[in-house]
Amino acid sequence: MRNIKLVMEYDGTDFIGWQQQLEDRTIQGELIKSLQSLSQESPTIYGAGRTDSGVHALGQVANFKTASSLSDDSIKNGLNFYLPKDIQVISAEEVSDKFHARFSAKSREYRYCISRRMKAIGRKYSWFCKYKLDLEKMKQASEYLIGSHVFSAFSKYNEKEKHYLSDVKYIEWHDENEEITMEISANRFLHNMVRIIVGAMIEVGRGKLQPVDIQKILKSGKRENACYTVPPHGLFLYKINY
């Protein structure tokens, strides 16, 4: 059996999320249907990270085993032929048998787009924030999150989670064309972690919290001390590093 690595882009708007469900439209589900049409096989497809309903991806990675002898390009083009327009396979590549999209990943990068203006064009790809934001304070606040910390205050409680440790490698901010983008890289992300961090950063940016409050919230470990979860449509799974 060959092990195939896919890099994919998708528009999360009309999906209930990555993970296959019995009735709802999911990225994994559409991918399985397309693979069945292409190769008459139904392998398990492993994704690097689950994305929630409405969350987009520019570089989601998945892998699956196949007995097919189709070339890498034929797998890519064949899948794109069967896939709906809101999912695109960017590349397909045969990789070592040991490669696993989720467990082999060293780090993941997400981006969150905050729009300073209510937009009609591209309104499903950024979240409009009505407050005037002090970006310098947001940058200062995000520095407290860099490094290895217990992120229970910045994640949704999940009884299956063994621990809430995450090693945040960097948080970078860009501000152009009326859009603020936060880029965050970490070895792992807990459920809703990026969206809860952005919610807290907004509170700092609008002056409701001071940058140092982020450190206090982090240390408290309590979700109720952090703020709201910003909407999914500003969030992009950007890249998986191996």
Residues carrying an active site annotation: 52
Q: How far is the CB of 160 from a second copy (least distance, A)?
A: 30
Query: Is residue 28 helix, strand or coil?
Result: helix
Among 56, 195, 223, 239, binds a second copy (CB under 8 A): 56
Q: Which is nearer to a second copy, 125 or 144 (CB)?
A: 125
Q: Beta strand 56-66 with 235-241: parallel, antiparallel or unpaired? A: parallel
Q: Which is nearer to a second copy, 58 or 95 (CB)?
A: 58
Q: Which is nearer to a second copy, 99 or 128 (CB)?
A: 128
Q: Which is nearer to a second copy, 66 or 80 (CB)?
A: 80
Q: Tell whether residue 106 is a contact of a second copy (CB under 8 A).
A: no
Q: Taking a C-beta distance cutoff of 8 angstroms, is the pair 49, 108 a contact?
A: yes
Binding mask 4-43 for a second copy (x = CB under 8 A): -----xxx--------------------------------
Residues 6+ apart with CB under 8 A from 76: 6, 89, 90, 91, 92
Among 46, 112, 125, 144, binds a second copy (CB under 8 A): 125
Sign, CA torsion 30/82/45/190: negative
String of b and e for 16-34 (b: at least 16 CB within 10 Å)? bbbebeeeeebbbbbbbeb
Q: Tell whether residue 93 is a contact of a second copy (CB under 8 A).
A: no
Among 16, 25, 66, 86, binds a second copy (CB under 8 A): 86
Cα(94)–Cα(51) distance, integer angstroms: 24
Q: Taking a C-beta distance cutoff of 8 angstroms, is the pair 202, 137 a contact?
A: no
Binders of a second copy among residues 131 to 190 (CB under 8 A) are none
Applying CB under 8 A, the site for a second copy has a residue count of: 18
DSSP string, 151-179: -GGGS---TT-S--EEEEEEEEEEEETTE
Q: What are the residues binding a second copy (CB under 8 A)?
A: 9-11, 56, 58, 80, 85-88, 118-123, 125, 236
